[in-house]
Copies of this chain bind each other. A is one copy, B any other.
Amino acid sequence: MMTEGWERMPLAEASLCRGCWDQMRVPVPIRGPLAFPLRLAGIRVSRMHPNLCTICETQFERVKGAKQLLVPATVLFADVRGYTDLSERLDASRMAGLLSTFYEHCAAAIWERDGIVNKLIGDAVFAFFNFPIRHDDHLRRAVEAGLELQRRCHDVQAASGHAASDAWGVGVGIHTGEIAIGEVGQFCRDFTAISPVINLAARLQGAARPGEVLVSADAYDQLGTGLGSDGPRMLQLKGIEHPVTAYAVQALSPTGGRVPS
């Protein structure tokens, strides 16, 4: 497994912003002495991914010449199951510790596969893959990140020896398709993505059981032949008129497809 030992060996830090390179073929130094003048101009390492600078998020319209851009991408949502219940039983500092652990392991799994963490929303993480760092296999990367973050959160829990009453699980939802990425709002601005693809991924996350990576049928079909799931599941999701088919993916084969049964 590529990611083994990540705790000891952090993500390889790039000296140039990988987003500016992939999107514009412009070398933007983000580390080392060459990064200093850019810092004076307010350009820093992005919080969304340690190998990106803040140009893509804050200067999107100037750089891309459009407010939003349609991009094929894969969307991943992960959240802590039973968070509301936990937050009523644990004090704020323990809840912050739990969230911090959760964020860290989600980010590690996502960043390593070049996805960006667009938002941390209380007990949920919203990430997408294929922008600004491009990878044709963004779907596979997202599913790998989902499986990896489940493994990490499971291992952390197993190692902590917490009381059963403090146990927490994670639900992951993944969908793929075209999303509009860019800056929304004028005075009150935000770098984010808009698409029904995102809404469906969020609903799949809501329907995932603790420990599951639930992917849409579209995504599942694109992952290739083989199984690695317990079969299709028909879901009636809030705000979505028709029933939706989804699969809980358990593992991917080394070639990136699903594991054959």
Contact = CB atoms under 8 A, between A and B. Distances in A.
Interface of A: 10, 39-40, 42, 44, 47, 50, 67-68, 70, 82-85, 87-88, 92-93, 95-96, 99-100, 103-104, 106-108, 117, 119-122, 180, 182, 184-190, 192, 194-196, 198-199, 202-203, 238-241
21 contacts: A10-B187, A42-B42, A67-B93, A68-B92, A70-B92, A85-B241, A87-B194, A92-B180, A93-B180, A95-B180, A99-B184, A99-B194, A100-B185, A103-B185, A103-B188, A106-B188, A107-B187, A107-B188, A120-B184, A122-B199, A122-B202
Task: Report whether over half of chain A's contact residues are helix, strand or loop; otherwise say mixed.
Answer: mixed
A236 to B, nearest CB: 13
A185 to B, nearest CB: 4
B85 A239 contact: yes
A117 B110 CA distance: 26
A120 B190 contact: yes
A97 to B, nearest CB: 9
Contacts of A103: 184-185, 188-190
B40 A67 contact: no
Contact of A104 (B50, B106, B107, B185): B185
A101 to B, nearest CB: 9
A257 to B, nearest CB: 30
Contact of A95 (B10, B47, B194, B239): B194
Contact of A121 (B99, B106, B107, B121): B121
